[in-house]
Every structure is written in structure tokens, then in C-alpha cells.
Amino acid sequence: MMANERPTLYVGMCNNLVRRVWEHKHKINPNSFTARYNLNKLVYYELFKDVRLAIIREKQIKNFSREEKIKLIAVMNPTFKDLYSEITGQIQDNLPAGQPGPE
């Protein structure tokens, strides 16, 4: 989940978390929800080996109320800090060719 300071929340699923968060942070798609609302902090994530399970979980979380999402985040990340710097050292993903590395 991505968030801003409010926090406005965004739930999404991807196959390369480091790359996708980098894209959100750099507003690669300026018309996207995350760009419009300046959602530049990774506040929660779950990793799956089976994409089907990831899609099911994404749909479950999207159906949560705002309060349920905030409680879920608080279990993993009670201060809502940006987890991006943590995942860049822990997850072995490659950025797309021609794009600079993480900040």
C-alpha cells in the first residue's frame, strides 16, 4: 500500500515491488491516482510466490474499510514510515533497463 501524509491509501499488486514503488515515487504516470494524490510512501506490503494468491489478497484488502486498512498497516508499520529503503536492500528485483536505481 502506498500512502501520503493524510494518509490517502492506494492498494495495488505487482510483480516487481522495488520497480513499482520507484515508479510511484517518480510519478512515471503523471495521471495516475498515486501521482495526483502524491502517494509516495510504501507503508505496507505482502510477498507471494503464487500470483493467483496475490490477486486474491489484493481484492480482499481493497474490500477492507479505511479503518481496517489502517489497522492492517499499523500491525507491520505502526509509525507509517516509508518502507522503500528497507525493501531495496532486502528484495532482489531489477529495475527496467535505462532507469536509474533507487534513490
pTM surpassing 0.85? no
* Secondary structure class of 80 (helix, strand, coil): coil
Cβ proximity of 9 and 69 under 8 Å: yes
Whether 47 is covered by a domain: the verdict is yes
62: pLDDT strictly greater than 60: yes
pLDDT for the residue 19: 94
Inside any domain, residue 36 = yes
**3-state DSSP assignment of residue 10:** strand
Q: How many domains does the chain have?
A: 1
User: Is 103 contained in some domain?
Assistant: no
Residue 101 domain flag: no
Instruction: Establish how many alpha carbons lie within 13 A of residue 2's alpha carbon, considering only the half-sphere containing its beta carbon.
Output: 22
* pLDDT over 60 (residue 99): no
